[in-house]
């Protein structure tokens, strides 16, 4: 079997999902398992196809138009005048290249933006646009526009992003569980219900919800 780690090291790490997979690592695993072609990465372009062909021994083939065309690298830019601080773009960015807080203006860290475009569709006020990453003509494409150093940095940031998302979800679930347990312990005082039967029904609902929450937190 092909080595997915070696394949992933040759991908541009834009995490754009245009290959049809949720991230570059998943695409690399699919190639290694023979479930995806080596020509599904528009950001890598034809140079990326050649690199993957050399590593895997698979034949070179034209870039798949179904997955997009090779083009110049772009950067996301937020119109500060229209940004409402919803944080949706921050959550969508796979490499944590957008900073800001709730109800405050957000901004893109240009040298960390991979141009994945995932922040654009989630913006409710359409205040994010794309601008060329390079001035002058002709503009470089594929690996000519995105050096290995930036790809390696993007891979590291994406790994940290995944860890942060999992941690945030676990912390959120812990807070909800603690709130539910407190409500269960003080149900009679906290509830507007006074009928014992209705209180028991409410208690059963909360206990069932807590049981599901605990089951989700169990490993394996």
The pLDDT of residue 179 is 72
The pLDDT of residue 216 is 66
Q: Of 43-57, 109-123, 147-161, 197-211, which gets the smallest average pLDDT?
A: 197-211
Work out the average pLDDT over 92-100: 95
Work out the average pLDDT over 135-144: 93
The pLDDT of residue 210 is 66
Decide if pLDDT at 180 tops 80. no
Give pTM, 2 decimals. Answer: 0.77
Work out the average pLDDT over 158-175: 81
Strands (DSSP E) along 106-168, which ranges?
107-108, 128-132
Highest mean pLDDT among 89-98, 174-183, 208-217: 89-98
Decide if pLDDT at 122 tops 60. yes
Decide if pLDDT at 112 tops 80. yes
- Separation of alpha carbons 51 and 38, rounded Å: 9
The pLDDT of residue 220 is 54
C-alpha distances in Å from residue 146, one per residue of 93, 131, 133 = 18, 15, 10
Please state, for a pLDDT cut of 70, what percent of the chain lies above it: 85
What is the number of alpha carbons within 13 Å of residue 72 lying toward its C-beta?
A: 13
> Which pLDDT band holds residue 14 (cuts at 50, 70, 90)?
very high
Work out the average pLDDT over 133-162: 94
Decide if pLDDT at 71 tops 90. yes
With both helix axes pointing from N to C terminus, report the angle between 148-185 and 196-217 in degrees, rounded to the nearest 10: 150
Handedness of CA 128, 83, 13, 112 (dihedral sign): positive
- Separation of alpha carbons 73 and 95, rounded Å: 16
Among 166, 159, 164, 163, smallest CA distance to 217 is for 166
The pLDDT of residue 16 is 97
Buried b (16+ CB within 10 A) or exposed e, 59-75: eeeebbeebeebebbbb
Mean pLDDT for all residues in the chain: 88
Q: Of 35-44, 66-75, 91-100, 207-216, which gets the smallest average pLDDT?
A: 207-216
The pLDDT of residue 190 is 62
Work out the average pLDDT over 139-168: 93
Work out the average pLDDT over 37-50: 97
C-alpha distances in Å from residue 196, one per residue of 193, 200, 206 = 8, 6, 15
> Which pLDDT band holds residue 175 (cuts at 50, 70, 90)?
confident
């Amino acid at each position: 079997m092909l080595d997915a780690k070696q394949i992933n090291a040759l991908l541009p790490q834009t995490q754009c999902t245009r290959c049809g997979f949720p991230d570059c690592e998943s695409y690399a695993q699919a190639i290694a398992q023979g479930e995806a072609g080596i020509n599904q990465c528009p950001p890598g372009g034809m140079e990326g196809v050649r690199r993957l062909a050399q590593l895997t021994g698979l034949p070179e083939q034209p870039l798949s138009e179904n997955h997009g065309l090779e083009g110049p690298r772009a950067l996301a830019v937020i119109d500060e005048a229209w940004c409402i601080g919803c944080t949706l773009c921050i959550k969508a960015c796979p490499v944590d290249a957008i900073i800001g807080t709730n109800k405050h203006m957000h901004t893109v860290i240009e040298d960390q933006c991979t141009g994945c475009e995932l922040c654009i569709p989630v913006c409710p006020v359409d205040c994010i646009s794309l601008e060329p990453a390079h001035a002058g003509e002709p503009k470089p494409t594929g690996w000519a526009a995105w050096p290995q150093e930036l790809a390696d940095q993007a891979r590291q940031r994406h790994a940290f992003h995944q860890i942060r998302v999992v941690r945030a979800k676990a912390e959120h679930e812990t807070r909800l569980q603690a709130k539910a347990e407190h409500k269960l312990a003080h149900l009679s005082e906290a509830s507007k219900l006074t009928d014992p039967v209705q209180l028991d029904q409410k208690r059963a609902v909360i206990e069932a919800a807590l049981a599901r929450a605990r089951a989700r937190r169990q490993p394996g």
